[in-house]
Structure 1
Amino acid sequence: MKKMMFSPSLMCMDLLSMKEQVEILNERADFYHVDIMDGHFVKNITLSPFFVSNLKRISKLPIDVHLMTEYPDDYIEELAKSGADYICPHAETINKDAFRIINKIKGFGCKAGIVLNPATPIEWIKYYIHLLDKITVMTVDPGFAGQPFIPEMLDKIKELKELKEKNGYNYLIEVDGSCNERTFDILTEAGAEVLIVGSSGLFNLDSDLPKAWDKMMEIYEAKTAK
């Protein structure tokens, strides 16, 4: 089994200690997950391209931007210039011009991902799935942290794994939402390859971030041990 990768959700970190926390996570994590919300696609508003440009100055890891925005095209060039490595809009926002958006992301030298809301089927992306570097399965409805896990998403993860293996696709299968002690085992078994960890999965485990990371890894290994 491939080693699980972990992507801390930076909207859940202590932003007053950003530099210190990033330096700690640089030696432990695999990606940084940056949520950008516009107050329209979802009601919340979080991080920004300006945050990405500051993160880039201290990051040793790929910066993965999740665009919860009604018009993702408005952000692509600025995010690429700010230092984003992955740019991942929602399928619900790009399907009228998906090929143009994906080509634009790749044209700026970034990797292209797509995010699927819980009620959005894989069928929506079938004609461009082969172009994707990452597919993120939302296991909660997007916009706010701390929501309950939607178990029906396990079948979506399994289907993505089967499609990847059958067709030789290269996308990473990522999960966003309620990745924690209660779900580590079932997400791993379903075929997840990257887990986005936020408050419940990482940051609330201990006020000392290295201890929180160690606790998370101990929990993950205990839950997924065979």
Structure 2
Amino acid sequence: MSAVEISPSLMCMNLDKFKEEITFLNEHVSSYHIDIMDGHFVPNITLSPWFMGEVRKLSRLPLSAHLMVTDQTFWVEQMIDLKCEWICMHAEVLSGLAFRLIDQIHDAGLKAGVVLNPETDVTDIFPYIDLLDKVTIMTVDPGFAGQRFLEPMLDKIVQLRKLRAQADYHYLIEMDGSSSRKTFKRIDQAGPDIYIVGRSGLFSLTDNIADSWAIMRKDYEEMTGKKLE
């Protein structure tokens, strides 16, 4: 596996330092993770297409939309209009829609991902797993920052790695939830390609994004024994 990617969860950033933090992170990360919540699929409401447009003004990095929404069709169309590079839908609400929406995303020249809640088994996505560009494993209950890390979910990452190798699938494997010094070693042993970092792993470490990034990088390297590119 190549070096891991770090994708900051922007719902956890300090919005009063929006320009400062995006400008800094542009030089250190390869994408941004943007949570879209509708207050129905999860009880919270967070970021929006408007927010994504504001990020676009300051960055050319790919955006990855995590659609924690009930009406996947409506929000996929919104993301396609924004040319969001990665559109990640929840498996739990894709019955009868998966093939159609994945094809719609690919036809727009964008990448399609699926997200699995902790209670959702990897086998649920077997009918269309060969079409996916990314699979995201939730290692927390979705909807709010700061949830308890659910270590057994790492087994899904191991399972996805084995499936990818056996069947020559092309999806990336992403983990989302409580990625921090306390969990870096266990996550690394499971082997995802992309770490979502949020409040505990990055944005709450200090009041300065450069200092927080330095601490996060040091934490990752000390706990895994690997260099963060």
TM-score (norm 2): 0.96
Paired AA for residue 207 in structure 2: S
Contact 1:140 1:148 in 2 (8 A): yes
Paired AA for residue 122 in structure 1: V
Name the counterpart of 1:17.
17
Name the counterpart of 1:73.
73
Q: Structure 1 segments of 4 or more deviating over 3 A?
A: none
Contact 1:38 1:70 in 2 (8 A): yes
Question: Could you tell me how far 1:152 is from its partner in structure 2?
Answer: 1.1
List aligned pairs for 1:11-160, cutoff 5 A.
11-160=11-160
Alpha-carbon distance in structure 1 between the residues aligned to 2:23 and 2:83: 17
Unaligned runs of 5+ in 2: none
Question: Could you tell me how far 1:110 is from its partner in structure 2?
Answer: 1.2
Aligned CA RMSD, in angstroms, stands at: 1.1
Name the counterpart of 2:189.
189
Question: Could you tell me how far 1:16 is from its partner in structure 2?
Answer: 2.2
Q: Deviations over 1:11-48 (max 9, x none)?
A: 01111221221110000012100000000000000001
Contact 1:137 1:153 in 2 (8 A): yes
Q: Deviations over 1:106-131 (max 9, x none)?
A: 12221000000001001110011011
Alpha-carbon distance in structure 1 between the residues aligned to 2:57 and 2:123: 38
Paired AA for residue 87 in structure 2: I
Question: Could you tell me how far 1:81 is from its partner in structure 2?
Answer: 2.1
Alpha-carbon distance in structure 1 between the residues aligned to 2:80 and 2:15: 22
Q: Deviations over 1:25-84 (max 9, x none)?
A: 000012100000000000000001111122112113110000000011101222122231
Q: Deviations over 1:71-109 (max 9, x none)?
A: 111012221222311000100011221100111111222
Alpha-carbon distance in structure 2 between the residues aligned to 1:122 and 1:95: 15
Q: Deviations over 1:120-162 (max 9, x none)?
A: 0011100110111110000011001101111111111100010
Alpha-carbon distance in structure 1 between the residues aligned to 2:126 and 2:147: 28
Alpha-carbon distance in structure 2 between the residues aligned to 1:152 and 1:10: 26
Paired AA for residue 149 in structure 1: F
Alpha-carbon distance in structure 1 between the residues aligned to 2:73 and 2:16: 30
Alpha-carbon distance in structure 1 between the residues aligned to 2:94 and 2:56: 26
Task: Judge which range, 53-62 or 171-180, deviates more.
Answer: 53-62
TM-score (norm 1): 0.97
Alpha-carbon distance in structure 2 between the residues aligned to 1:175 and 1:154: 8
Alpha-carbon distance in structure 1 between the residues aligned to 2:211 and 2:162: 36
Paired residue total: 226
Alpha-carbon distance in structure 1 between the residues aligned to 2:41 and 2:105: 20
Contact 1:56 1:82 in 2 (8 A): no
Alpha-carbon distance in structure 1 between the residues aligned to 2:71 and 2:166: 33
Q: Please give the secondary structure, in 1, of the residue aligned with 2:127.
A: coil
Q: Deviations over 1:144-199 (max 9, x none)?
A: 11011111111111000100111111111100011111111111111211000000
Contact 1:37 1:45 in 2 (8 A): yes
Q: Please give the secondary structure, in 1, of the residue aligned with 2:43.
A: coil
Identity of aligned residues (%): 48
Contact 1:52 1:83 in 2 (8 A): no
